[in-house]
Structures are given as C-alpha cells and as structure tokens.
Amino acid sequence: MAEQLYNAIFVGSIYALFAVGFALVFSVLDILNLAHPVVFMLGAFVALFFMSTFGLPAALAAVAAFAVTGMFGIFLDRVAFAPLRRRGAPPLSAMISSLGFAIVVIRLMELRYGPDLVSYPAGSLPQTVLQIGDARLDGLRLLIIGLAIVLMVGLTYVVRATQLGRDIRALAENPRAARLLGVDVDRAIAATFFISSGLGGVAGALLGFAYNAIYPQMGTPYELKAFTVMVVGGMGSLPGAVLGAYILGIGEIAALVFLPAELAELRDALAFGLLFLVLVIRPRGLLGHRVADRA
C-alpha cells in the first residue's frame, strides 16, 4: 500500500512538471501548445546525449536538459507562434502550427534514434532502494519527487515575486496594456517559453531516468493527461495544475489497485470521465477563477 502511494506521488510529480509548463503557456498566451510533448521527449534525449557523449552525471545532465529545452522553447516560439502572433491569428491556428512542428521534430528524432526504446548508459543512474518497514522504495524516485517540488516552488517564486514574473502576469492580463506600461513584451514571451519548455524538458529527463527507457513518441500519452490535469485544476491556474496532477496520479494508481484486473483498462476512461464531468459541472476547475466561456 505504501509502495502504491509512493508511486502515485511519483507519477503525480511528473504530471505536475509536465502540466505546469503547458498551463503556463496557456495562461499567458492562450495557446494550447501541442509541441509540449515534443519538448518533454527532447529533454530525455538531451540528457542521454550529455551522459553518453560527455559522461556527465545524471544530475548535471538534467540541468543541461533544462537549459537546452528552454532555449528550444524560444526557438519553437520564433518559428511556430511568433508569425501568427504578429498577425493576430486565432488560437486555433497556433494549435495547428505547433502540431506541424511536433510532427517534424518527432520524425527527425526517429530518423536519428529509431522509433524503439533507448536506455541510458549502464551504471549512469543511481540505484538505491529504501527499506521502510515492509515497503521497498526506489531511492531515485524520491530524489525526483523532491526535485519536482523544488522546481514548482521555484516557479511559484519567479511568477509571484520577481519583476520578470510581474511582467509575465501583466502580459497574461493584456498584452497591449502591458506594452503601454513599458513591459518588454517580447522578453516576457521568450521567458515564458524558456521556463515552460525547460520544465517540460526536465520532466522528460526525470521520467526517462525513472523508467530507463525513452523513445521519440514518449510525450504523446502525457499530452492527453495534461489536458485532464489542467481542466481539473482550472485552466491556466498553476497551483491548479499541480493539484490536478496529484489528483490524477493518485486516482490512476487507486483505480489500478481497486479495480479487478480485467477492468484495468478502464482506469484511463476514469481520467477522461473525470475531465468531462469537471468541464460540465464546474468548467473553471477546482482552483480556476476565470469564467469558462472565454473563446
């Protein structure tokens, strides 16, 4: 039971790291970034690259993954979103543009690494097992949970208490007014994408470390999960995304534990059923404060 709860918190932490980046871009720019799963996947592969080519330890490789995918996020914005923004195109266009971008990057990675599972170099990941009572807990996952929480606290600090965070929030409120008030809007947008993609990339690297199996399409299942997480927590609310992520993580593991084996497949339906119910009953989610009918 303790092991199941531990896994639930681990899964929730990965969902949360994935979803806060996704939610950040949505809350600031109203874009559903369908290339976010690609950034997640790239994080895992960037870590692999630094570990196998330069022999970097896993911890430093995760930092490298943050930096590289963060920069990649800025590139993504320049290529897929900036031209549309200049024209004032509807959010739907941005969604489709990021989809095209995602297809290109996934295919390029498949050409380079093949579509199959890739592992990290042998012996590069710490392997400790914590024995607490009867429960055997993977030590690496504890580190990952801790790191995820530190990153989310850091994100909250940046958004709430720094000048950059104030700029980003002003941009989210009204880009035009923010510009008139002297906010460097382009810099705030670049920072938004850097943070969002960096967090997505770290999430991918950490998930890769935990399972030691990465592949070019690994981000895709998390995309739909992230929708659920954002909707349950409240679209565009960062604390909501974190809360939603842990609810989903715990709910999924609970379904796995309590549902009979032949109905185990249904646990995914549970997640999406939850999503649907929240949207119908309380469209603004648990912690959302905006009205839901914004187009």
Partner 1 sequence: MDALADFLRVYQTTVGVIGINALLALSVWLTLYAGQLTLGNAAFMAIGAYGSALLGMRMGVPFPLGLTLGALLAAALALPLGLAVFRLRGVYLAIATIGFGEVLRVVLLTVPFTGKALGLNGIPAITELWHIYLSLAVVAYVLWRVQGSTVGRAWAAIREDEIAAASQGIAIRRYKLAAFVAGAAIAAWAGGLSAHLNFSIEPGDFGFTRAVQILVFAVVGGTPSVAGPIVGATLLTALPEVLRPLKEYRDIFAGLILMGVIIYLPRGLVTLAELRKTRRLQEIGVADVA
**Binding residues for partner 1, per CB under 8 A?**
32, 34, 79-80, 83-84, 87, 89, 91-93, 95-97, 99-104, 107-108, 111, 223-224, 227-228, 231, 235, 263, 265-266, 268-269, 272-273, 275-276, 279-280, 283, 292-295
Beta bridge partners of 129: 138
The one-letter amino acid code at 242 reads V
Rounded least distance, CB 290 to partner 1, Å: 10
Query: Which one, of 276, 279, 219, 281, lies nearest residue 19 by Cα?
Result: 219
Rounded least distance, CB 167 to partner 1, Å: 24
Output 34 or 140, the one with its CB closest to partner 1. 34
Number of H helices and E strands in the chain, helices first, is 12, 2
Rounded least distance, CB 195 to partner 1, Å: 21
Output 93 or 212, the one with its CB closest to partner 1. 93
Rounded least distance, CB 170 to partner 1, Å: 22
Paired tokens of 268: 């995914």
Distance, in Å, from the CA atom of 198 to the CA atom of 73, rounded to the nearest integer, reads 7
Distance, in Å, from the CA atom of 170 to the CA atom of 165, rounded to the nearest integer, reads 9
Output 99 or 250, the one with its CB closest to partner 1. 99
Rounded least distance, CB 239 to partner 1, Å: 19
Distance, in Å, from the CA atom of 124 to the CA atom of 45, rounded to the nearest integer, reads 14
Query: Which one, of 170, 205, 211, lies nearest residue 191 by Cα?
Result: 170
CB atoms within 10 A of CB 160: 11
Rounded least distance, CB 166 to partner 1, Å: 26
Beta bridge partners of 118: 214
